A and B are shown apart, each in its own frame.
Chain A
Amino acid sequence: MDNPATPRILHFMKHDSDVVIVGGGLNGPALALALAQGGLSVTIVDALPLDTRKDDTFDGRSYALALASQKLLSALGIWNEIADHAQPILKVAASDGHAGEGPAPFFLEFDHAEIEEGPMGFMIEDRYLRRAFLDAVMAEDRVAHLSGETVVAQDVQPGGVTVTLQSGKTVSARVLIGCDGKRSGTAERAGISRTGWEYGQTALVCAIEHEKPHEGTAHQFFMPAGPLAILPLPGNRSSIVWSETTDQAAAIQAMDDDSYLAALRPRFGDFLGEIKLAGARFTYPLSLSLANAFVSDRLALVGDAAHGVHPIAGQGLNLGLRDVAALAEVMVDAHRRGEEIGAIDVLERYQTWRRWDTATLAAATDGFNRLFSNDNPLLRGVRDIGMGVVNAMPGLRRRFIREAAGLNGELPRLMKGRPI
């Protein structure tokens, strides 16, 4: 047969693994496990050294896991390892507050008894979650873990993608996934621009021990400078996420522990009795940062790399895990039907699935924050009445609870607790 000369675009090379994930935080290992369980091989490139990841002293950081995220951890086989350390959130109480005045009369309360699935979520300390992921990743044959390595270059070709590490090592794969946070180098090197802004607010984060039991209740007080969340940890301990203007937060963070506690105490009153610090203190400047695309040729962005949202509703990790579940499902389904997992039309299915959800949540939390972080008496009146109304309407309340638990929208199967 006549066979016209054809251009040789690229000679195929055997890839080191199917997927290379940049970022060893929580989303990276979660995605690696999900993909490996779906039959794909993965290399994780983690900038932090292994010892830092393994450190299990309590540093004060913790996460509010939505129920759907907990189901994903169950499906991945992680939950059993951390269940003993998790505190169920049985009730959420939100109220308008003014320093020294206590809660406003209209009080929004959500109780897990109003949805059938169980607790609304769980509080888990970072050290346990991080360690469980690391152990699971280390035990998984299909995952290679490179610690203390940063990416200096990435090169996308028609047949695959190669990343070059600082050590000079290269890793080739069919797809590159950036789980490398708000300032994602993966996105930047791919030329994906971002949209976002600063809020002029900073979250102060710490853990406290308190005299009286919290009874599994998460409190959210809407203060003029920003929200204050008190989230229950196992025992008589709680995690505090406390937003102030950036200048004020810097001043508070600079105080010694006694003055810090003295600043914190009047902000939520004395319903938990005496309080003292139970870990280190952190600050996180609040900003919104959305990548203008979640995918490009042979590349996808997950978690904060795609969308760093305002953490007001504690949805950052939950949104990230939802990305993980959606991307893993898209890629594993494609793999099982024989499609090229790095093809743009495959990756675009993930973008279509996640982008709308993310944009609406980012807009909602942004609007929520602007409404609530305000001392205008008229707005205070509006939100107090609004809370009273939501409180009085069971249907709307159920929707709020289900949304907070991550149970609304088209859920990936991992988030229903089903295997990949």
Chain B
Amino acid sequence: MQAVETTVDAAEVAKFEAMAAEWWDPNGKFKPLHMLNPCRLDYITSQIAAEFDRDLTGPLPFTGLRLLDIGCGGGLLAEPMARLGATVVGADAAAGNIPVAQVHAEQSGLTIDYRHTTAEALAEAGEQFDIVLNMEVVEHVADPLAYLTACQQLLKPGGLMICSTINRNPKSFMMAIVGAEWVMRWLPKGTHEWHKFITPDELFALIGNAGLDPVDRKGFVFNPVAWTWSLSDRDLSVNYVTASVKASA
């Protein structure tokens, strides 16, 4: 594909390429994402259901919705969305993720349009979506405002963006970097750079500046006893997620 002007940090992309083949092993290098996934999906599905008035207990509830998953990796979110009936485009700036994701979607009997591209390139091409999933990406980009503006351009009027990232405070440094990278070795050292983490208020301001209305935020909280993640209304101290909408035309 042609080179595109991008805000993606080249060094970050290289790190993920090295890990691409491991995506679908629940006990492999992406174990933390697999563990977090049910909780992320609960938030995403309930927000989509509320925004587009869908019944999650019915068959293929997301039929007719066009969804973009940015930083799709091996397809951990793209596949569930396709399984629920959405028309899914998975975009990743790391070329190595694309064939991994494609092979897995085929095994799963799912049709997903995986592309080696970026939010900026898709926006420039005039692509439009009902939903943009922007999960654990914004802390890796070089220019968050330019990136979120591209996300805003990708949304149809009335569209929904779900954006999750990591808070910036001493606790998140201990949990996400010391805990997850150094102690538990859940992620390779250097996966995250603490100074790129964003506080919820900063993210809401960025989203507002990008032209979207933030409507909800929740924490993802890890329970070390139950060894599971859950959603929290109050504790946004480390991982958190937001929902934003684009005003109807």
Contact = CB atoms under 8 A, between A and B. Distances in A.
A385 B84 CA distance: 59
Nearest to A159: B107
Contacts of A6: 99-100, 102-103
Interface string B85-116: 00000000001001110110011110000011
Nearest to A339: B80
Contacts of A339: 37-38, 41, 80, 83
Contact of B107 (A2, A158, A336): A158
B172 interface: no
B83 A3 contact: no
Interface string A21-46: 00000000000000000110000000
A334 B108 CA distance: 15
A278 B18 CA distance: 72
Interface stretch (A7-15, A255-263, A301-309): A7-15
Interface stretch (A64-72, A125-133, A209-217, A340-348): A340-348
A338 B59 contact: no
Contacts of A169: none
B244 to A, nearest CB: 21
A10 B103 CA distance: 9
Contact of B38 (A3, A11, A337): A337
A13 to B, nearest CB: 8
B109 A12 contact: yes
Given A12-B106, A39-B59, A159-B108, A337 B80 contact: yes
Given A338-B84, A343-B26, A9 B95 contact: no
A396 to B, nearest CB: 26
A4 interface: yes
A1 interface: yes
B108 A337 contact: no
A38 B99 CA distance: 33
A378 B1 CA distance: 84
Interface string B34-46: 1001100110010
Given A12-B106, A158-B107, A344-B26, A4 B99 contact: yes
Interface in B9-57: 26, 34, 37-38, 41-42, 45, 56-57
B130 interface: no
A345 B99 contact: no
B57 A3 contact: no
Contact of A337 (B1, B42, B59, B115): B42
A174 to B, nearest CB: 9
A170 B45 CA distance: 35
Nearest to B31: A345
A158 to B, nearest CB: 5
Interface size class of A (residues with CB under 8 A): 20 to 34
- The listed residue with most B CB atoms (<10 A of its CB), out of A6, A159, A338, A339, is A338
A46 B32 CA distance: 40
B120 interface: no
B58 interface: yes
B79 interface: yes
Contacts of A344: 26
Contact of A159 (B57, B83, B95, B109): B109
Given A2-B95, A3-B99, A4-B99, A337 B107 contact: no
Contacts, number: 65
A1 B1 contact: yes
Nearest to A160: B109
Contacts of A3: 98-99
A348 to B, nearest CB: 8
Nearest to A344: B26
Interface string A134-162: 00000000000000000000000011000
Contacts of B107: 9-10, 12, 158-159
Nearest to A420: B57
A340 B115 CA distance: 22
A6 B82 CA distance: 22
B46 to A, nearest CB: 9
Contacts of B95: 1-2
Contacts of B83: 338-340
A345 B38 CA distance: 10
B231 to A, nearest CB: 12
B41 A345 contact: no
B34 A1 contact: no
Nearest to A335: B83
B26 A345 contact: yes
A347 B82 CA distance: 21
Contacts of B115: 1
Interface in B67-82: 79-82
A12 B108 contact: yes
Contacts of A334: 38
Contact of B81 (A10, A338, A340): A338
Contacts of A340: 79, 83, 108
A19 to B, nearest CB: 15
A333 B42 CA distance: 9
Contacts of B45: 336-338
A345 B57 contact: no
Contact of B116 (A1, A9, A337): A1
Interface of A: 1-4, 6-14, 38-39, 158-159, 333-334, 336-340, 343-345, 348
5 contacts: A12-B107, A14-B109, A339-B38, A339-B41, A339-B83
